[in-house]
Amino acid sequence: MLTSPRSFSARHLACLLFAVALSGSLAQAQSTVQAPTPTTTLLCPAAVFDGKETHAGWVVLVSGNKITAVGPAAQVTAPVGARTLDLANQTLLPGLIEGHSHMLLHPYNETSWNDQVLTESQALRVARATAHAQRTLLAGFTTARDLGTEGAGYADVGLKQAIDQGIIPGPRLLVATRALVATGSYGPKLSTDVTLPQGAQEADGVEGVARATREQMGKGADVIKVYSDYRWGKGEPSHPTFSQEELTVIVQTAKAAGRPVVAHSSTPEGIKRAILAGVETIEHGDNGTPEVFKLMKQHGVAFCPTVAAGDAILQYQGWRKGQDPEPARVQEKRASVAAARKAGVTFVMGGDVGVFAHGDNAREMELLVRDYGFTPLEVLQQATSGNATVFHLADRGRIATGLLADLIAVQGDPTKDVSALRQVQMVMKGGVVYK
């Protein structure tokens, strides 16, 4: 880890002032106190992917937590005393941005979602989440949108604070806290005789959803997540939950406070209502139709398909991928992604990590390339400059002068082979090297 020089201690300062006083004149004394100088590092890879395109022979100069120069090696001069990181045969790129994660969940083949919500203490879940945060960062994801604690209350706010204060390593988090669901539509659900803690906050009616939105923002939510459709009973398909009026009030309430709203939506009507309400992204969209994706394009709403989550769940349930016929759920997802691409919808890269292992975030990008027809360059743009634009993160997602020094280096060329993202050699966040 690179650190800045140690600050001058109060004890040393007291000693200095005492010595100066003994000399008889502060004005005549020559202080030896010097301001700390920021750490400066010159990164020398084989090539730089700047969030849009690749430049061979470029280098990047970092001072403190910012990028201070980018360009051909012959045109960038490092100051005396700068450190040099030789990243031979590696591509330097912006820190990746995870668009859909749940730090407070772990894979369902380890513990079911119901049991995580009902039987795991919040202390255990938070302790596990600290490990998830570190794995995410070391996998090259320096920012993550965390879309719901799934029964762990506002624990994501504390997790974010611990990362920001340097107590634990992890990505920069955008947290959604509890998420909003219509009463009766979520879970866990066991016996009808038992009222159970829920995986999200129930709210109903215009006044109720406005109050719940304000409560979550007041507790620290950066993003408001709403379930515009869900299952009312076990085994049945999803149906719309909130009314158009309720969804619109949620968006208006959040937008007035500068918070975006994202919607879990998988039915045509649920997606349509969320779009018309003004949400910024649709999550999942399994049964989206060409008509709703055209509407999504018209309203500038982005789409996070989370293909890796469904793929993982089906395998947990016994699907032998590559051996058994493709399940209907996969075929539906493939059709919805194809329709969204044809409509020209903007894609968000996010895998619903937590359903599968944290640190395995690149799984979504690999599936999009291998099974859904995207190019490595397309998914890499989504995970860097694309997600930064959709999430209003103007200070990251690209390699340019003045932006945050959130940078990673991978072996090979990820714009040609997405599996290169599994070969993370260096991770820097805010100018500090973590790997």
164-173: per-residue pLDDT in tens?
999 999 999 9
Question: How many whole angstroms separate alpha carbon 368 and alpha carbon 351?
Answer: 10
Q: What local confidence, expressed as pLDDT, does residue 402 receive?
A: 98
Distance set, CA 422 to CA 273, 363, 425 (Å): 38, 9, 9
Q: What local confidence, expressed as pLDDT, does residue 39 receive?
A: 83
Instruction: Fold for 40-94+418-433, please state it.
Output: Urease, subunit C; domain 1 (2.30.40)
Among the listed residues 50, 40, 49, the one whose alpha carbon sits nearest the alpha carbon of residue 90: 49
239-287: per-residue pLDDT in tens?
999 999 999 999 999 999 999 999 999 999 999 999 999 999 999 999 9
3 state SS of 261: strand
pLDDT bucket at 320, cuts 50 / 70 / 90: very high
Tell whether the model's pLDDT for residue 1 goes beyond 70.
no
Tell whether the model's pLDDT for residue 9 goes beyond 60.
no
- Of the chain, the percentage scoring pLDDT greater than 90 comes to 89
Instruction: Fold for 96-395, please state it.
Output: TIM Barrel (3.20.20)
Question: How many whole angstroms separate alpha carbon 275 and alpha carbon 256?
Answer: 18
Q: Which residues pair with 63 in a beta bridge?
A: 40, 66
- Of the chain, the percentage scoring pLDDT greater than 70 comes to 91
Tell whether the model's pLDDT for residue 28 goes beyond 50.
no
CB 308 within 8 A of CB 108: no
Q: What local confidence, expressed as pLDDT, does residue 192 receive?
A: 87
Q: For 277-300, what is the mean pLDDT?
A: 98
| pTM, rounded to two decimals | 0.90
Burial of 27-47, coded b for 16+ CB within 10 Å and e otherwise, reads eeeeeeeeeeeebbbbbbbbb
Tokens matching residue 224: 């408001």
Q: For 52-60, what is the mean pLDDT?
A: 98
**Per-domain boundaries in the chain:** 40-94+418-433, 96-395
CB 106 within 8 A of CB 354: yes
